[in-house]
């Protein structure tokens, strides 16, 4: 069923839309953000500044953005997705030329009132574009090579731009989320199998080539991989982040050391304690119980998204909702794997908890799309 076939009467209109908002999802998002405020307050040594307060303001702004996005009919978003995608590409290119250097990487454009990270925007517009593409493409064509190549290019182009910044974490996210949407849209599993097989082959080749004269990576890159695989090799250098992070997590135990009692974060042993490594503080202060609770909240958000997607009557709504869910999942899965020493340290924040404006606004806007799909579902 396409949006053209909706009966205008069967979808809520006006202020009645608010009643159809997915309230449990909204509440879940707010509680996750609440955990974030709590932790930001703690890592600042029991202070609202410099992190908790701005984060709260951004969250309020983000909620407004979400509501606005939710109120706008989902078909509007479908119609402008190509435009949104192109705008994101333009912004990415702009960063390439006019961006500001921050944290050793070129990532944002200073708009005056806020710093815009086009790569964050890209995550959501890519999902929108792919959803719109598969909404438009007849299902029986979706596995044909030419129609597979088009979305692959849509994914690879921004990925390449983001990788150049360099931002490995976001590139992986774009790649995985894009691939996820393609998989959901019904592209033949053979393609995925081929890509995975090729990936495994490449990794094997990289390791096999080490020390030979056709070595694929530079020596320092191998050393990074070594450190990732066994951080104890270099506990004060490259492995420091992972080692300290694991210590913080481990020392939390079952129930944690108590709020604001985490020594690892309070004494600055943890790097990036307010951004990428904020989960370690949570785990140190609230223990396994705290960490598991947050993980459960995340999973519930995913469950609600999947439920919304399954209930949706059109492909765009389903795909965009699931795409947002995948992006969200990738955020916390990569971040948590990273702090638990299961994945290399790539710059991926803990969604809605880590300090950072762009990511929060973009994520809430994305959930606005999910809400919009829910509201504008014909009933």
- DSSP string covering 254-273: TT-S-TT--HHHHTT-STTT
Place of tokens 């995985």: 176
Q: Which of 126, 184 has the CB closer to another protein?
A: 184
Instruction: Count the neighbouring beta carbons within 10 Å of the beta carbon of residue 186.
Output: 14
Tell me the CB-side half-sphere exposure of residue 150, using CA atoms within 13 A: 15
Strand partners, 116: 109
Report if residue 319 touches another protein, rule: CB under 8 A.
yes
Farthest-apart Cα atoms in the chain, separation: 70
DSSP state of 378: -
Residue 253 binds to another protein (criterion: CB under 8 A)? yes
CB under 8 A: which stretch of 25-33, 157-165, 299-307, 353-361 binds another protein? 299-307
Q: Number of residues in contact with another protein, rule: CB under 8 A? A: 50
Measure the CA–CA gap between 43 and 38, rounded to whole angstroms. Answer: 9
- Cβ proximity to another protein, 149 vs 310, nearer residue: 310
**3-state percent helix, strand, coil for the chain, nearest multiple of 5:** 70, 5, 25
75 touches another protein (CB under 8 A): no
Residue in 248, 320, 366, 369 binding another protein, rule: CB under 8 A: 248
Q: Are 248 and 264 in contact (CB under 8 A)?
A: yes
- Closer by beta carbon to another protein, 121 or else 249: 249
Does 340 sit near another protein (CB under 8 A)? yes
154-193 residues near another protein, rule: CB under 8 A: 180, 183-186
Residue 59: closest CA among 38, 25, 29: 29
Selected from 32, 326, 353, 369, the binder of another protein by CB under 8 A is 326
Question: Which of residues 66 and 343 has its CB atom nearest to another protein in the complex?
Answer: 343
The least CB distance from residue 298 to another protein, in Å, is 7
* Pair 51, 44: CB distance under 8 Å: yes
> Does the footprint of another protein cover residue 318 (CB under 8 A)?
yes
329 is a contact residue toward another protein (CB under 8 A): yes
Q: Does 237 bind another protein (CB under 8 A)?
A: no
Q: Does 345 bind another protein (CB under 8 A)?
A: no
Q: In sequence order, what are the beta bridge partners of 100?
A: 108
Segment interacting with another protein (CB under 8 A) among 6-14, 55-63, 162-170, 309-317: 309-317
Would residue 103 be called left, alpha or beta, if left means φ above 0 and alpha means ψ between -120 and 50 degrees? Answer: left
Provide the minimum distance between the beta carbon of 322 and another protein in the complex, in angstroms, as a whole number. 6
* Among 80, 216, 337, 344, interactor with another protein by CB under 8 A: 337
Rounded Cα distance between 125 and 121, Å, is 6
Question: 229-254 b/e with 16+ CB inside 10 Å = b?
Answer: eebeebeeebbbbbbbbbbbbebbee
Residue 247 makes contact with another protein by CB under 8 A: yes
Is 242 a binding residue for another protein by CB under 8 A? The answer is no
Query: If DSSP codes are grouped into helix, strand and coil, which group holds residue 106?
Result: strand
Binding region for another protein (CB under 8 A) out of 24-32, 37-45, 121-129, 306-314: 306-314
Residue 288 beta carbon to another protein: minimum distance, rounded to whole angstroms: 4
Asked if 128 contacts 84 with a C-beta cutoff of 8 angstroms, the reply is yes
Interface residue with another protein, options 125, 171, 244, 371 (CB under 8 A)? 244
Q: Using CB under 8 A, which of 104, 138, 190, 211 touches another protein? A: 138
Residue 24, interface with another protein (CB under 8 A)?
no
Nearest to residue 359, comparing CAs of 151, 59, 72, 64? 59
Q: Give every strand in the sheet of 105-110, ordered side by side.
A: 100-102, 105-110, 115-116
Nearer to another protein, 73 or 256 (CB): 256
The residues of the shown chain that bind another protein, judged by CB under 8 A, are: 1-2, 136, 138-140, 180, 183-186, 244, 246-254, 263-264, 267-269, 283, 287-288, 291-292, 295, 298-299, 302-303, 306, 309-310, 315, 318-319, 322, 326, 329, 333, 336-337, 340, 342
């Amino acid at each position: 069923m396409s949006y053209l076939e909706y009966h205008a009467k069967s979808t809520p209109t006006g202020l009645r839309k608010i009643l159809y908002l997915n309230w449990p999802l909204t509440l879940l998002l707010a509680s996750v953000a609440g955990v974030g405020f709590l932790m930001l307050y703690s890592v600042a040594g029991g202070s609202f500044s410099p992190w908790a307060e701005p984060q709260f303001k951004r969250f309020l702004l983000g909620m407004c953005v979400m509501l606005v996005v939710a109120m706008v009919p989902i078909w509007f978003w479908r119609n402008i997705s190509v435009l949104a995608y192109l705008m994101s590409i333009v912004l990415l290119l702009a960063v390439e030329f006019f961006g500001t250097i921050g944290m050793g990487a070129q990532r944002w454009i200073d708009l005056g009132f806020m710093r815009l990270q086009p790569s964050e925007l890209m995550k959501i517009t890519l999902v929108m574009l792919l959803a719109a593409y598969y909404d438009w493409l007849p299902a029986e064509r979706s596995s044909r090579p030419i129609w597979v190549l088009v979305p692959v290019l849509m994914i690879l182009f921004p990925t390449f731009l983001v990788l150049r910044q360099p931002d490995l974490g976001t590139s992986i996210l774009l790649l995985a989320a894009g691939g996820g949407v393609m998989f959901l849209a019904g592209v033949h599993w053979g393609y995925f199998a081929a890509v995975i097989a090729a990936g495994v082959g490449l990794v094997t080749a990289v390791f096999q080539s080490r020390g030979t004269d056709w070595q694929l990576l530079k020596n320092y890159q191998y050393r990074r991989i070594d450190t990732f695989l066994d951080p104890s090799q270099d506990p004060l250098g490259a492995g420091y982040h992972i080692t300290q992070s694991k210590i913080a997590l481990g020392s939390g135990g079952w129930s944690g050391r108590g709020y604001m009692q985490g020594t690892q974060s309070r004494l600055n042993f943890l790097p990036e304690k307010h951004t990428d490594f904020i989960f370690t503080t949570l785990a140190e202060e609230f223990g396994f119980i705290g960490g598991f609770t947050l993980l459960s909240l995340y999973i519930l958000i995913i469950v609600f998204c999947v439920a919304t997607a399954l209930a949706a009557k059109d492909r765009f709504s389903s795909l965009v909702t699931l795409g947002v869910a995948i992006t969200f999942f990738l955020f916390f899965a990569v971040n948590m794997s990273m702090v638990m020493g299961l994945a290399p340290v790539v710059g991926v924040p803990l969604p809605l908890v880590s300090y950072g404006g762009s990511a929060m606004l973009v994520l809430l806007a994305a959930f606005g799309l999910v809400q919009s799909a829910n509201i504008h579902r014909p009933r």
